[in-house]
Chains A and B, each alone.
Chain A
């Protein structure tokens, strides 16, 4: 299992367009990617659920990656968050 924390800097938070792109990114890997905000969590590939978490600028989230390619996946997903959120 791999885990990283990230604080959102995008002014509108995890919004519609990049959330869709994130889904595509996650699907490139076999690992499961889970996003935690406080007590709530959901799969990163479920765009609607993810947006339902209402993650906005300044929120710190935890991302947990689990699976056979978790090493590469974690690296790619972290880079994606830095670039898009």
Chain B
């Protein structure tokens, strides 16, 4: 048995196999090249690709960790802008020094990182790691390295020198038992991730050795150390301690398994919003009663080419199977001009929020839409699926979506494919949908109100523009009235109505929504138990 010490981020014990998370060495060829134009083109393609990746990471981090933590990816994105010095520097090195794109990127980014490292203020010094992070992303694209596979496929305690912000976002959290890093501070991204996930983590562990890989270990957060190949006695006593922790946590979380019912007996459903199969663990841990919004964008954003029906089917099936018999509402492709994807070849737009996005793309590109619908219908045999169409403004669109869905169903039936019963619904996120809610409700089984876009479109306030903050009011009476109108219209036509936007988790509005008659609230997994607690404390018989 070996013992190594470090600094523990939180009290807790992790037991499992060690996996050394090692980035493959990036070997840069520094020989002269002939075709500089080809290298310039390679850099340009990689640059655009990494900018897209940063946007995806931004969106992902926004969901997982909020605006403050996500902001760093906007910074990464801007590092690669054409009007920044780095862009010029890379192009210059390729052209005048006749070197490969890899060499030029490495040289230019390392120089920029040195500039930050040499600054006196610690905040600016730390930005050098951001520059290196982006450098590595660009190099990985240029060199075709797949860093995603380094985590392995088994649950493990991951050991690394440190995790870059983009790495912490990319990690599959369901396979993460704990983390040990050689570097890192209590404010590093590793530490932030550890706290947000309640994950036993040891940083500044200087005695990490490569031959730990695959060995059994106990990370003891209480005593700031890790035991490699622990003795049986130690394994027994610390397993007991771990079980005890779990029991305590269970006491704290005694709301799990209880229904979301008010004091006077009204029960609503509390569902989770998720962004991909990797979030399914969080749904279960937090005891969501279902999934109210499964953003299907991940299948498009995580893919280099248009995902096939088979790829999509596998992703949807995995989620449905794992969560069955819980209901899973999957929103069809909500890609827009602001989330551009190379292979979709979308034009640049002046006003993307009001542009060619979501169902508008799907109804224009029918084959693309049908691939997703066929994948969804095939997956429906494995669980409790509901399909939801986003950005609806008219009955005509819903009728068309349903007709294409029916066409897919007939095709699959003729092919002899098994399918399950599904509910069909729409996002209500435009004022047009609110005002036509009665007619729309006749066409569907449910409404899910997307309060983020509904607020943006109702108040004409750009969500992305920080300058508008003084004018924005998340509790704007117009938005609350729109929600109330939608619920009433839905109920007139036997439609259940939920909220899947951020307002759903706003505890100051929970009673208001209950009084309006809401049937379901879908929130981020970590908000589920607090929301259930709030619901269980409300008495609707009392004066509102």
Contacts and interface: CB of A to CB of B under 8 A. Distances in A.
Co-complex (A, B): yes
Interface of A: 12-13, 15-17, 19-21, 23, 25, 45-49, 51-52, 54, 56, 79-80, 83-84
Given A48-B112, A52-B115, A16 B84 contact: no
A45 B83 contact: yes
Given A19-B78, A47-B75, A54-B120, 16 more contacts: A16-B71, A17-B74, A20-B74, A20-B77, A23-B81, A45-B83, A47-B78, A47-B84, A48-B84, A48-B85, A48-B86, A52-B115, A52-B116, A52-B119, A54-B119, A83-B466
Given A17-B71, A48-B85, A48-B112, A54 B121 contact: yes
Contacts of A84: 466
A17 B66 CA distance: 14
B121 A21 contact: no
Interface string B82-120: 011110000000000000000000000000100110011
Interface of chain A: mostly helix, strand, loop or mixed: helix
Nearest to B120: A54
A17 B75 contact: yes
B129 to A, nearest CB: 12
Contacts of A47: 75, 78-79, 81, 84
B127 A51 contact: yes
Contact of A16 (B86, B130, B467): B130
B343 interface: no
Contact of A56 (B84, B115, B121, B467): B121
B123 A12 contact: yes
Contacts of B86: 48
B72 interface: yes
17 contacts: A15-B123, A16-B71, A16-B75, A16-B127, A16-B130, A19-B75, A19-B78, A20-B74, A20-B75, A45-B83, A46-B85, A48-B79, A51-B124, A52-B115, A54-B119, A54-B124, A79-B467
B466 A21 contact: yes
A80 B468 CA distance: 11
A54 B120 CA distance: 8
Interface string B119-157: 111011001001000000000000000000000000000
B83 A46 contact: yes
A84 B71 CA distance: 14
B166 to A, nearest CB: 14
Nearest to A80: B467
Nearest to A20: B78
Closest 5 CB pairs of A and B: A16-B75, A17-B71, A20-B78, A54-B119, A12-B123
Contacts of A15: 123
A49 B89 CA distance: 13
Nearest to A47: B78
Contacts of A46: 83-85
Contacts of B127: 16, 51
Interface in B63-78: 71-72, 74-75, 77-78
A17 B464 CA distance: 13
Contacts of A52: 115-116, 119
Nearest to A76: B467
Given A20-B75, A20-B78, A47-B78, A83 B83 contact: no
A49 B130 contact: no
Contacts of B79: 47-48
B544 to A, nearest CB: 37
Contacts of A23: 78, 81
A25 B468 CA distance: 13
A46 B72 CA distance: 17
Contacts of B75: 16-17, 19-20, 47
A78 to B, nearest CB: 13
A51 B86 CA distance: 13
Nearest to A21: B466
Nearest to B77: A20
A80 B81 CA distance: 21
B79 to A, nearest CB: 7
B112 A16 contact: no
A51 B78 CA distance: 12
A50 to B, nearest CB: 10
Nearest to A45: B83
Most buried by B among A13, A48, A83: A48
B51 to A, nearest CB: 13
Contacts of B77: 20
A16 B72 contact: yes
A50 B119 CA distance: 13
A25 B78 CA distance: 14
A80 B469 CA distance: 12
Contacts of A49: 85
Nearest to B470: A83
A40 to B, nearest CB: 12
B123 A13 contact: yes
A51 B85 CA distance: 12
A15 to B, nearest CB: 6
A45 B78 CA distance: 11
A30 to B, nearest CB: 15
A13 B122 CA distance: 11
